[in-house]
Amino acid sequence: MKNRFLFIFIFFYTAGLLSTSAQNGVNLPDASGKLPFLSPRDQQAPTQVPDPLSLRSDQPDRMEWWRDARFGMFIHWGLYAVPAGEWKGKTGYGEWIRTSAEIPLEVYDQFRPKFNPVQFDADAWVRMARDAGMKYIVITSKHHDGFCMFDTKLTDFNIMSTPFKHDPMTELAAACKKYGLKFCFYHSIMDWHHPDYLPRREWEKDRTAEGADFSRYVAYMKAQLKELLSHYGDIGVLWFDGEWESTWNEKYGKEIYNYVKSIQPGILVNNRVGAGRLDMEGLTAEGAFGGDFGTPEQQIPATGLPGVDWETCMTMNDHWGYNSADKNFKPAGEIIRMLADIASKGGNYLLNVGPTAEGLFPPESISRLDAIGKWMKVNGESIYGTGASPFSQLKWGRCTKKLTATGAILYLHVFDWPANGKLVLSGVLNTPGKAYLLADPGRSPLTVTRKSDALVITLPPKAPDPVNSVIALNIQGKPDLTDPPEFKTGFDTFTDSLFVSLASDRDRVEIRYNIGKSEPAITSALYSNPILVKATSVISARCFRDGKPVSGTVSKEFTKATPLQAATPPPAGVAPGLHYRYFEGSWDSLPDFNTLKPAGEGIIPDFQFTPRTRDDLFGFVYDGYVMLPETSVCIFYTGSDDGSRLWIDDVPVVNNDGLHGLTEKSGSIALAGGLHKIRVGFFERTGSDNLAVFVKSQKMEKMVIPKEWLCH
Ligand code: FHN
């Protein structure tokens, strides 16, 4: 392989396509085909990529510090801090400014001589993270703009070529070691600077891709990863990003994962090293390679994800990189509750700070870190080393848990302090041990009584913390906790009648239910088959064992809806297919297409993207009828990248708008059998593009709307 590798470079070199002189400040391989600072072994692309999962055999051990940590600091710091979000009078930019504002390379390079963070103080940064209760720091070694915030020999587009002239990563690594935090790197796969990275930005018409060699870019990436994993001590996590473009794939991902592990076997790597991330939801597609953990972004999964390691990353305001105009910072209380919510679902929270070009944390970030730290100082044990809540939902707050030698500690995060001073925890059959407020230094015991399946904790009149007061409740023996039954019916509205299904995952329980809001008793109806409702009804259900209630009660209303009447077919009758209008333009969300001139229109069989003349920056509007075989409540879905919306009979049903990767949204509407107007709007900005439209009814499983149902 090495000889082949050598041959390729000699061929390109003699063909004049390569030179040892730096192209755009990037050191390309020399005539011998050697990349500087890469050992011969590292120069070799692996002959075959071992399955990285085999490298995860020590998974539980390597992940332990990370799972215990629960809380880390994300830092987006780079050349983009110089413009601070502003360009030519617009102030909405962040770390994407070079491409969002379409700044040519040579113009963007003018920020380099202005980048001199003389107020940078690694010790102060790391102390703020530590004092906020954070256990690790993930900082951008290189973001998408390609500027390297570390002393790399592979390109001069780095911090050493600024007036700052020294390597902040060295100081941060030392400070993390000093204060006991894990030091981690964010490293972007996408690189808008390196001549070998493809694709080019679609607006960079004058920046030729001639001679670009993506495999050479991967070698450059490996050489830089070697520097990062060799010069800064033990690295906790390599947090990849920018993996979504067509040039990256799972094979590269596995190769890089293996390579990184070969240098630091104990390091963790997120799922963005691969190519299977499900967009901002951040988890890994079934069967795809997902590194060591999933990465939801700016969102928290709706429920816990048993057996899945995941970390939500989030900004404090609306930008990752520093934006001087963005004062929309989340209140500290909201952040504290999100930390509890995430931990209660078994996840980690990576909270971002975007430092200024002077090397300072924004004051708004500092004040929030300080407030979070005060809360963590009192309540940190309810976050660190905890596992997910055993309860699916708690009306008053969240729960995290720790198993103990004699049972478990349930940490009850009370957001809404009960006015009557009684905190009810349903479905707990264990004998309660001591309960106390973490805010009480004396840990004086709170009174705990039993009421049927519930434990009732008597609380002081005033919550010690207005945002989140934590009670530690010891329970004895193996936790015997039961959630209320779950409604398994996919509909909560119906047109004629509805069968309501109930289920529980607990052993040896029976479900009893009432029609109405009253709490079921042992004398209530025993659930054995789906319940038929023909009018708007509330059903309340509860789990019982050996004649006694073992869970709380769940209630849900099922509403009878009047279906929208079918349309009268046009006098000329209908013909197969939809009328489409094709538009070209650049949008962040669906425009009002009625105000725009279409670049094409006609009839097509269904929601296709043809005909069109470009892969990016286009939109479609589809109009016509959908012929529904019967009266029912229908759930419509759109799965799209980027945004889409769906209307039925001019009623908005699905809103899946916005700039996003493949995402599915749905909405329901009651419809009589027959013709109903349907309209779908779609736009694609750049990158991959998808649109699929589905329907599900009470009698029909979810399916793509058949062409045969579409007409105009
Ligand atoms: O494009 C990046 C963005 O700039 C930022 O780094 C976030 C943080 O996870 N990741 C990408 C957007 O998903």
Write out pLDDT tens, residues 316-340: 999 999 999 999 999 999 999 999 9
Whether residue 154 is found in the same domain as residue 196:
yes
Whether residue 529 is found in the same domain as residue 429:
no
Does 5 reside within a domain? Answer: no
Ramachandran area for residue 688 (φ above 0: left; ψ -120 to 50: alpha; else beta)? beta
Q: Is 122 in the pocket of ligand 1 (CB under 6 A)?
A: no
Beta bridge mates, 228: none
Question: Do 288 and 275 touch, CB atoms closer than 8 A?
Answer: yes
Tens digit of each residue's pLDDT (9 = 90 or more) over 508-537: 999 999 999 999 999 999 999 999 999 999
pLDDT at position 11: 39
Between the CA of 630 and the centroid of ligand 1 the distance, in Å, is 45
Q: Is 297 in the pocket of ligand 1 (CB under 6 A)?
A: yes
Backbone angles phi, psi at 15, to 5 degrees: -80, 0
Does 50 reside within a domain? Answer: yes
Tell me which of 560, 592, 608 is where a domain ends. Answer: 560
pLDDT at position 108: 98
Between the CA of 467 and the centroid of ligand 1 the distance, in Å, is 29
Which two structure tokens, joined as six digits, stand for 269? 């790597």
Q: Is 322 in the pocket of ligand 1 (CB under 6 A)?
A: no
Between the CA of 97 and the centroid of ligand 1 the distance, in Å, is 13
pLDDT at position 22: 41
**Collapsed DSSP state (helix, strand, coil) of residue 698:** coil
Tens digit of each residue's pLDDT (9 = 90 or more) over 41-67: 555 544 444 455 444 445 568 899 999
Q: Is 139 in the pocket of ligand 1 (CB under 6 A)?
A: no
CATH number at residue 139: 3.20.20.80
Whether residue 675 is found in the same domain as residue 555:
no
Per the structure, the complete domain to which residue 42 belongs is given by: 15-382
Whether residue 195 is found in the same domain as residue 299:
yes
C-alpha 368/C-alpha 538 separation (Å) is: 43
C-alpha 69/C-alpha 170 separation (Å) is: 23
AA letter at 269 = V
C-alpha 684/C-alpha 658 separation (Å) is: 10
Whether residue 144 is found in the same domain as residue 31:
yes
Does 389 reside within a domain? Answer: no
The DSSP symbol for 530 reads P
Count of CB atoms situated within 10 Å of the CB of 565: 12
Whether residue 679 is found in the same domain as residue 629:
yes
What strand order describes the sheet that includes 632-641?
663-671, 632-641, 690-697, 700-704
Does 203 reside within a domain? Answer: yes
Whether residue 347 is found in the same domain as residue 410:
no
Total domains in the fold of the chain: 4
Does 1 reside within a domain? Answer: no
What's 110-159 look like in SS3? HHHHHCCCCCCCHHHHHHHHHHCCCCEEEEEEECCCCCECCCCCCECCEH
Of 711, 535, 545, the residue nearest 626 (C-alpha)? 711
Work out whether strand 71-75 and strand 348-353 pair parallel, antiparallel, or are unpaired.
parallel
Does 573 reside within a domain? Answer: no
Match 């730096």 to its residue by tokens.
22
AA letter at 208 = T
Question: Do 694 and 702 touch, CB atoms closer than 8 A?
Answer: yes
Between the CA of 104 and the centroid of ligand 1 the distance, in Å, is 21
Which two structure tokens, joined as six digits, stand for 215? 């495999």
Does 23 reside within a domain? Answer: yes
Whether residue 530 is found in the same domain as residue 615:
no
Whether residue 328 is found in the same domain as residue 465:
no
- Looking from the CA of residue 280, the nearest atom of ligand 1 is 13
Report CA-CA distances (Å) from 228 to 46, 171, 187: 20, 14, 10
Of 335, 322, 410, 403, the residue nearest 86 (C-alpha)? 322
Which two structure tokens, joined as six digits, stand for 206? 């004058």
Q: Taking residues 386-414, report their average pLDDT.
A: 95
Give me the DSSP letters along 25-84.
Answer: TB----TT-PPTT--HHHHSPPSS---GGGGGGGHHHHHHHHHHH-EEEEE--SGGGTTT
- Looking from the CA of residue 143, the nearest atom of ligand 1 is 6
AA letter at 183 = F
Whether residue 636 is found in the same domain as residue 532:
no
Q: Taking residues 686-692, report their average pLDDT.
A: 85
CATH number at residue 436: 2.60.40.1180
Question: Do 639 and 619 touch, CB atoms closer than 8 A?
Answer: no
Between the CA of 144 and the centroid of ligand 1 the distance, in Å, is 9
Q: Taking residues 168-196, report their average pLDDT.
A: 98
Whether residue 167 is found in the same domain as residue 68:
yes
Q: Is 622 in the pocket of ligand 1 (CB under 6 A)?
A: no
**Residue nearest atom 10 in ligand 1 by C-alpha distance:** 241
C-alpha 356/C-alpha 337 separation (Å) is: 27
pLDDT at position 608: 92
Question: Do 81 and 321 touch, CB atoms closer than 8 A?
Answer: yes
Match 């259900």 to its residue by tokens.
541
Q: Is 145 in the pocket of ligand 1 (CB under 6 A)?
A: no
Q: Is 313 in the pocket of ligand 1 (CB under 6 A)?
A: yes
Tell me which of 560, 587, 606 is where a domain ends. Answer: 560
Buried b / exposed e across 27-44, counting CB within 10 Å, b at 16+?
bbbeeebebeebeeebbe
Tens digit of each residue's pLDDT (9 = 90 or more) over 93-148: 999 999 999 999 999 999 999 999 999 999 999 999 999 999 999 999 999 999 99
Q: Taking residues 423-431, report their average pLDDT.
A: 96
- Looking from the CA of residue 190, the nearest atom of ligand 1 is 1
Tens digit of each residue's pLDDT (9 = 90 or more) over 463-516: 999 999 999 999 999 999 999 999 998 899 999 999 999 999 998 999 999 999
Q: Is 320 in the pocket of ligand 1 (CB under 6 A)?
A: yes
Tens digit of each residue's pLDDT (9 = 90 or more) over 17-35: 333 334 445 544 444 444 4
Tell me which of 382, 408, 442 is where a domain ends. Answer: 382
- Mean of the per-residue pLDDT values of the chain: 91
Residues 6+ apart with CB under 8 A from 191: 142, 144, 146, 197, 217, 242
Ramachandran area for residue 689 (φ above 0: left; ψ -120 to 50: alpha; else beta)? beta
pLDDT at position 26: 52
Whether residue 319 is found in the same domain as residue 452:
no
The DSSP symbol for 563 reads P
Between the CA of 550 and the centroid of ligand 1 the distance, in Å, is 45
